[in-house]
């Protein structure tokens, strides 16, 4: 079942869903009848409209979607009180086995691509080198901070537009990936050990590391036309990597695209959801890149979600002794309790008994 016109703004008609065997139904009917609800932004990631759903949930329902559970801990507790089993898709581990379910990588692909297009539009220059009757136009210089999925996509997109791209990442091991998509790897003389956790996500470093990193990065940033920052840590405020002083050292007309704006931003002057102009430098802070390419964002999200759902079916009904890391890591609430260890820690709750599972007969 799906809401009428649910996919219209992404370019999908109701007839396309119906031809695949779905039927349209009111939101109230869906909540009343569905055993499993798949939402893109559930309560937590959708704090205003999502709260209205609390009164519609039924105890025992399974809810899947993005929910920002590591920061929206109050909302996680509210979902537990509603009696639903909530699976937060942003908690899917970054492992080979779970790669086809990795919603964050799909969204980061969109972010990296769209970020470059927005920056190119804001820059009062063109990206490629051109030989013209009026002389040679030199290419724009683009610097990408962070070489995760979003950063690598940003590098590749900026290169396709013809700019000269350099990039930096706290993890020296990604140098080959940076070079493989056409950028020059910038090496800073700053030591970084254990820069990612066991789930493959970036970890917070200490302040002395970030201070030294900022000092060394100043000379790189001041020479750029565009700086694209992508450094974010799940459940934490984004580290400040670009200071006011660094912005003021850039030439007027330069652009900073802060992909981490939704986490507070990597630039000291970023305002999430806004465009700031400081000393002639434009600082962009978009917070919803997926809405800029809804057709393919929907396509990738649905593929990830259905792959996860097919995996989950083997562990229903949820009962005891489940040890599967994909199920355990993503399950936030079950049986009226917050079950995820990281969310419980954020709420100040003691460790919970593991929720494991029997198999469907």
Choose the catalytic residue: 39, 99, 299, 302: 99
Residues 4-9: contacts with CB under 8 Å, at least 24 apart: 7/298, 9/294
94 is catalytic: yes
Question: Whose CA is closest to 149, among 103, 192, 204?
Answer: 103
Choose the catalytic residue: 85, 105, 213, 254: 105
* CB of 327 closer than 8 Å to CB of 357: yes
- Run of H or E including 150: helix 149-160
Taking the C-alpha atoms of residue 259 and residue 202, their distance in angstroms, rounded to an integer, is 15
Question: Whose CA is closest to 270, among 291, 287, 253, 254?
Answer: 287
* CB of 334 closer than 8 Å to CB of 69: no
Choose the catalytic residue: 100, 159, 201, 324: 201
Choose the catalytic residue: 12, 42, 85, 102: 102
Choose the catalytic residue: 27, 94, 212, 222: 94
99 is catalytic: yes
16 is catalytic: no
Q: Say which residues have a Cβ less than 8 Å from residue 310's Cβ, sequence separation at least 6.
A: none
Residues 5-12: contacts with CB under 8 Å, at least 24 apart: 7/298, 9/294, 10/294, 10/295, 10/297, 10/298, 11/294, 11/295, 12/295, 12/298
User: Which residues belong to the active site?
Assistant: 94, 99, 102, 105, 201
């Amino acid at each position: 079942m799906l809401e009428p016109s649910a996919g219209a703004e992404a370019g999908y008609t109701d007839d396309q869903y119906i031809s695949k065997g779905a039927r349209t139904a009111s939101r109230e009917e869906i909540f009343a009848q569905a055993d499993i609800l798949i939402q893109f932004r559930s309560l937590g990631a959708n704090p205003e409209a999502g709260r209205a759903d609390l009164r519609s949930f039924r105890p025992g329902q399974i809810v899947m979607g993005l929910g920002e559970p590591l920061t929206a801990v109050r909302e996680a507790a509210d979902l537990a009180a509603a009696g639903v089993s909530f699976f937060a898709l942003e908690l899917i581990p970054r492992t080979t086995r779970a790669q086809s379910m990795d919603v964050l990588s799909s969204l980061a692909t969109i972010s990296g691509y769209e970020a470059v297009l927005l920056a190119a539009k804001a820059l009062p220059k063109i990206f490629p080198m051109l030989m013209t009757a009026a002389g040679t136009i030199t290419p724009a210089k683009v610097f990408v901070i962070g070489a995760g999925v979003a950063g690598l996509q940003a590098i590749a997109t900026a290169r396709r537009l013809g700019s000269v791209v350099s990039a930096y990442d706290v993890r020296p091991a990604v140098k080959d990936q940076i070079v493989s998509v056409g950028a020059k790897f910038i090496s800073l003389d700053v030591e970084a050990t254990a820069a990612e956790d066991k789930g493959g996500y970036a970890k917070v470093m200490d302040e002395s590391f970030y201070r030294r990193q900022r000092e060394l990065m100043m000379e790189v940033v001041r020479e750029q036309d565009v700086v694209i920052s992508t450094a974010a840590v799940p459940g934490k405020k984004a580290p400040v990597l670009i200071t006011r002083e660094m912005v003021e050292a850039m030439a007027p007309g330069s652009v900073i695209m802060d992909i981490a704006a939704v986490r507070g931003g990597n630039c000291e002057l970023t305002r999430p959801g806004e465009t700031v102009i400081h000393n002639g430098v434009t600082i962009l802070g978009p917070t919803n890149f997926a809405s800029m390419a809804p057709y393919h964002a929907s396509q990738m999200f649905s593929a990830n979600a259905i792959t996860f759902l097919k995996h989950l079916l083997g562990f229903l009904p949820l009962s005891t002794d489940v040890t599967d890391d994909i199920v355990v890591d993503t399950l936030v609430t079950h049986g009226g309790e917050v079950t995820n260890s990281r969310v419980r820690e954020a709420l100040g709750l003691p460790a919970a008994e593991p929720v494991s599972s029997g198999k469907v007969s």
